[in-house]
Chain A
């Protein structure tokens, strides 16, 4: 079955770039997603990438996909204190649309 892994914690200084990494096992995943969850809140869709793409950029966010290594990363440029949250990567299940989530990375931005 699907197995999505992330490192649990990341701390960066305000203004620096953050890079959150994710590895997945289902090579037939069609879409890969990044969600942001603030304490006690819902999941906010940040961006997603189709599996035939290598990179997607959306304002301060850059997603890189290495399909050969099954590695996904999210880069946040000019990280702000408001970016402090848990970031989940997720993959769409093979033949279905439901999502399998990673363990989440807690990003702490130090002022």
Chain B
């Protein structure tokens, strides 16, 4: 089983729609969680951290369920500029050393 698994996608949704991505992780020792965004031929950039209580940043909401080892990202009122690949990232602490593990990514296209 992969350490981090995401919805395979691709997602094609109309502008203004709400879209949700899911991600599961296998290591219960995982300490911190992130969503990154990667545009075509660019480097990944942090979109938002994911906190246990859930957190919101404008149109974006991230949720964490430690019991189910599950992370989600919700995008409301999607914009054309939201088109990108979204990467679920889990920071695993093993024997005192951290390891950032990325999911394969989910490609999102917002259509006008």
Q: Do A and B bind each other?
A: no
